[in-house]
Amino acid sequence: MAFRSLNQFLKIRDVILNTKRAYFNKVWGMDLHPTSVFSLSARFDTTYPRGVHVGEYSYVAFGAAILTHDMTRGVYLHTRIGKNCFIGARSTILAGVEIGDESIVATGAVVTKNVPPRCIVAGNPAQIIRENIEVGRYGRFANAEATKQRLIAEGAFD
Amino acid sequence: MAFRSLNQFLKIRDVILNTKRAYFNKVWGMDLHPTSVFSLSARFDTTYPRGVHVGEYSYVAFGAAILTHDMTRGVYLHTRIGKNCFIGARSTILAGVEIGDESIVATGAVVTKNVPPRCIVAGNPAQIIRENIEVGRYGRFANAEATKQRLIAEGAFD
Amino acid sequence: MAFRSLNQFLKIRDVILNTKRAYFNKVWGMDLHPTSVFSLSARFDTTYPRGVHVGEYSYVAFGAAILTHDMTRGVYLHTRIGKNCFIGARSTILAGVEIGDESIVATGAVVTKNVPPRCIVAGNPAQIIRENIEVGRYGRFANAEATKQRLIAEGAFD
């Protein structure tokens, strides 16, 4: 696909994202930071929407779910994603969990307890697999953008 | 959201649920007890629908899947959810598994073998993480409704 | 359901499958072998579609996802499913992973590293749970079709 049409597609996606974020925040009372980005297939728990918190420059990937209630215990809890986090595709964050700033939740992880800042957690149940990581916005490693641009220059997408 | 409109929404949902349950039972030949409740996004295996059994006052949460066949072995099996069970969001119950009465399958669990009564299983593959639990209808702990009502009275949803 | 109507349904599904496979290969540039079969709910990563490779007579079951990029590292990788593989329902294959010929990925598995030929992997993270298996097309064991036909003859579907 040509990059021009891809970029137009991305612009349309941004409009949809901003509309959906505003809808979640204003109509449902969630707390999704204006700089946060999420896949349109991500699920935020609407049973207790005010318990959903996503910090600045955090990313919620496709199919991820952020839960804020547990029917078996009758509890409604605040679930907090910090700043600069990456919440991987198809992961599930259980009600009441806090994800520290600059942490990464791996694809498919089921997170049952708090995650300290600057960690990678993976698995079901999720375990810490790496500590003291250094990531920037959207939980990306320092060289991520350079790697991507190099691959584009090398023709990976031509 | 005001509770009046929420309650109206819940009534509409009940009508849809009852219609969908009747459809699964009469058209597909499943065995979903009339008192069982399931999310509209729960998946029941239609490859061998008569193998799907959900007992009275059991709950199947959003995105859960109950399977009854295994293509690699060519088998079509009966998968049974007992009474008063809670089958958590996005969990998967493999073909032929039996979940004992009053047991809870945690969010995201992949259940590969039988679960005794009154247990909580979690993880992938699912393991027993708690035994001898005491739950009532829909796998809820005794104090779940009281906890919920207290949170409502305290204004958690205002 | 009568087998005649089931067979008609299967024919329609084949037409849809062939159309969708051609679309993925021609428009997106994926490499799905003409003999490969996938559920219409399977997900192939469209961020780096040319990295998706599925070999001959392999099967991708419902809700499975085959990923080819990792945003946190900025990488776009080739993910290869061999021949005669079965990729189970709701499993996730991470970017860059290679699944050897005649291997089975169990339901719900999250595959983070290469899988040798003729293995079964399961769990999150996925581990090898069986080696030296012998399967034919679509990762089915030798007696799978015989087992299925016996169950049909015994009236399991009547």
CATH number of the domain to which C125 belongs: 2.160.10.10
C158 lies in some domain:
no
**Interface with chain C: mutation pick from A38, A92, A107, A141, highest number of C CBs within 10 Å:** A107
Average pLDDT over chain A, rounded to whole?
Answer: 94
A86 lies in some domain:
yes
B137 pLDDT more than 50: yes
Residue type, C21: R
Q: Identify the weakest region by mean pLDDT among A9-18, A107-116, B12-21.
A: A9-18
A158 lies in some domain:
no
Residue type, B154: E
Q: Of B100, B97, B90, which Cα lies nearest the Cα of B75? A: B97
Domain span at residue B95 reads 3-153
Task: Return the C-alpha torsion angle A61, A65, A66, A67, nearest 10.
Answer: 180
| Residue B69 annotated as catalytic | yes
Q: What is the mean pLDDT of residues B87-108?
A: 98
**Smallest CA–CA distance from B74 into chain C, residue:** C144
Residues C106-131: tens digit of each pLDDT: 999 999 999 999 999 999 999 999 99
Q: What is the mean pLDDT of residues B86-112?
A: 98
C42 lies in some domain:
yes
Among candidate residues A33, A53, A69, A78, the one labeled active-site is A69
DSSP label at A4?
H
**A65: part of which helix (H) or strand (E)?**
strand A65-66
Q: What is the mean pLDDT of residues A35-59?
A: 97
Query: What local confidence, expressed as pLDDT, does residue C7 receive?
Result: 77
Average pLDDT over chain C, rounded to whole?
Answer: 94
Interface chains of chain C (3 or more CB pairs under 8 Å): A, B
**Interface with chain A: mutation pick from B37, B58, B90, highest number of A CBs within 10 Å:** B90
Q: Of B156, B135, B153, B131, which Cα lies nearest the Cα of B144? A: B135
C128 lies in some domain:
yes
Mean pLDDT, consecutive 10-residue stretches, chain C (158 aa), reads 66 93 97 97 96 98 98 97 98 98 98 98 98 97 92 88
Q: Report which of residues C80 and B8 the model is more confident about.
A: C80
Number of domains in chain A: 1
Cα–Cα separations (whole angstroms), residue B66 to A2, B46, B82:
42, 10, 13
Query: What local confidence, expressed as pLDDT, does residue A3 receive?
Result: 54
B158 lies in some domain:
no
Q: Using CB atoms, which residue from A63, A90, A139 is nearest to C72? A: A139
Tell me, rounded to whole angstroms, the distance of Cα B6 from its chain centroid.
Answer: 22
Separation in Å, CA of C145 to nearest CA in chain B: 6
Q: How many CB pairs under 8 A join A and C?
A: 60
**Chain C residues with CB-CB distance to A107 below 8 A:** 67, 92, 94, 110
C93 lies in some domain:
yes
**Chain C residues with CB-CB distance to A145 below 8 A:** 74
Query: What local confidence, expressed as pLDDT, does residue A59 receive?
Result: 98
- B63 contact partners, CB below 8 Å, separation of at least 6: A65, B39, B41, B42, B43, B89, B90
Q: What is the 3-state secondary structure (H, E, C) of C70-85?
A: ECCCCEECCEEECCCC
**Interface with chain A: mutation pick from C45, C67, C71, highest number of A CBs within 10 Å:** C71
Query: What local confidence, expressed as pLDDT, does residue B1 receive?
Result: 47
**A99: part of which helix (H) or strand (E)?**
strand A98-99
DSSP label at B70?
E
Structure-block tokens of residue B18: 């009852």
Query: What local confidence, expressed as pLDDT, does residue A36 receive?
Result: 97
Q: Using CB atoms, which residue from C73, C112, C124 is nearest to A144? A: C73
Q: What is the mean pLDDT of residues A116-124?
A: 98
| pLDDT class of B6 with cuts at 50, 70, 90 | low
Q: Report which of residues A4 and B60 the model is more confident about.
A: B60
Task: Confirm if A95 and A68 have CB atoms less than 8 A apart.
Answer: yes
Q: ipTM score here?
A: 0.92
Residue type, A4: R
Asked if the Cβ–Cβ distance from A94 to B107 is below 8 Å, we say: yes
Q: Using CB atoms, which residue from B65, B74, B76 is nearest to C90? A: B65
Task: Confirm if C54 and C33 have CB atoms less than 8 A apart.
Answer: yes
In the numeric block, the tokens 């599930």 are attached to: A92
A106 lies in some domain:
yes
φ and ψ of C71, to 5 deg: -65, -35
